[in-house]
Each structure stands twice: as C-alpha cells, then as structure tokens.
A and B are shown apart, each in its own frame.
Chain A
Amino acid sequence: MFVAAVAGILVSMALIMIRACLGPTVYDRVLAVNTFGTKTVLLIAALGFMAGRPDFLDLSLVYALINFIGTIAVLKFFEYGDLGAQRQDLSTGGRD
C-alpha cells in the first residue's frame, strides 16, 4: 500500500515539473523547484517505509535542509545578482 503513496507523490511531482518547465518568470521556476524538493522529502520517507528501512528518514531530513538553503541562495542571487551582497534599502525594493 505504500506503493500507492509513492505513486501519488510521483504524479504530483510530475505536475510540478510541468510548471517548472513552463513557468514564464524565473520565480515560477524557483517556486516549482522548492515545492518539488518538499515532495522529494516525502517521497524519500515513503520509499523508506515501502522498503522496510525507515532509516531513510535521515536522508529526507538532510534533503529538507539542502532544499531550504538552496532556495534561499537562488532567490538571493536573483534578487541582488550576488550571493554575498549587502542588504539593500527596503523602501526601493531594488526597483529604482
């Protein structure tokens, strides 16, 4: 029955992947990749239970960490064009 859970998660990952390929702006793609990562965390957890090895949960915990850090890093890069940029004035929002 865990097969059903894994299959459902895979279907929703496929739908998210369509948005990541279509997404008109780069932010759509970042959003899709972030959601894809969350689903991967769940997929690894469900796969671990399916294989009878719940130790896989360690992997999914690490994947959750990497996913978060990666999303923030990519967003910072697209917002400031530099990973080590100083914080800009909030009132202009980088639009000037």
Chain B
Amino acid sequence: MELLVDAASWVFILTGLFFMLTGSIGVLRMPDVFCRMHAAGMTDTMGAGFVLLGLSLHAGLSLVLARLVLIYAFLLVTSPISSHALARAALAGGVEPYRGEDTPDANGSYRAEGGA
C-alpha cells in the first residue's frame, strides 16, 4: 500500500514536471506576449496542480495537506487574474497581437511578422 501511494505520487510529480517544462519551452518559443501567456497559464494550472497533488500524497492526512490545498487554491484564483491584467496592460500598451503570416488583420492588410 505504501509502495502504491509512493509510485502514484511520483507519477503525478513527473507529470507536473513535464507540463512545467512544456510551458517553459512554450514561453521561450511562442511568437508574442499573448501566445506566451497561454503556455505560462498551463504551467500554473497543470504543472503546479500535478506537482502539488504528488506532494500531497506524500504528506498524507495532516496539516501539511491543508497547506498544499491552500497553495493550489490560491494559485487557481490568482493566475487568471494576473494573466487578465497582463493581457489588458499589453493591449493598452500597444502590443500588436501576432496574426500569423496568411491571416489578414482588421484593416485587411497582410503582414509577414507581427508582435515580437
């Protein structure tokens, strides 16, 4: 039983690490802020969620579990709020969203490269 819980927690932690690394690579390689926010949001929900789930299996039923749940609940509330604030600030600050190479923008003109 002990072994089973241990194995499950390692599977969860490794899954979380996979999502965190994927999110980091996404932040590194996506073309502009708005695309990068998508990858960063995945780190906050899936990555943190799986890592904390794996840690909570190690913790068992205790005060430590309550703290882990509190951390995840807080991340779930604050991550969308800061993403929203960031998108709004970037748009107000005049960052042009990336539209790809063959999608026309609002004026109907084509552009080879936008945003970054």
Report if A and B associate in a common complex: yes
A: residues with CB less than 8 A from B are 1, 4-5, 8-9, 11-13, 15-16, 18-19, 24-28, 30-32, 34-35, 38-39, 41-42, 45-46, 49, 54, 57-58, 60-61, 64-65, 67-68, 71-72, 75-76, 78-79, 93-95
**Is B81 an interface position by the 8 A CB rule?**
yes
Q: Is B103 an interface residue (CB 8 A)?
A: no
How far, in angstroms, from A72 to B81 measured CA to CA in the complex?
Answer: 9
Please give, as numbers and ranges, the residues of chain A lying within 8 Å of B54 by CB-CB distance: 5
- Decide if the interface of chain B is mainly helix, strand, loop or mixed: helix
Q: What is the size category of the interface that chain B forms with chain A?
A: 35 or more
| Contact A60-B71, Cβ < 8 Å, known A25-B90, A49-B58, A94-B92 | yes
Residues 10-24 of B at the A interface (beta carbon under 8 Å): 10, 13-14, 17, 20-21, 23-24
For A72, what are the chain B residues with a Cβ–Cβ distance below 8 Å? 81-82, 85
Q: How far is the CB of A92 from chain B (nearest CB, A)?
A: 9
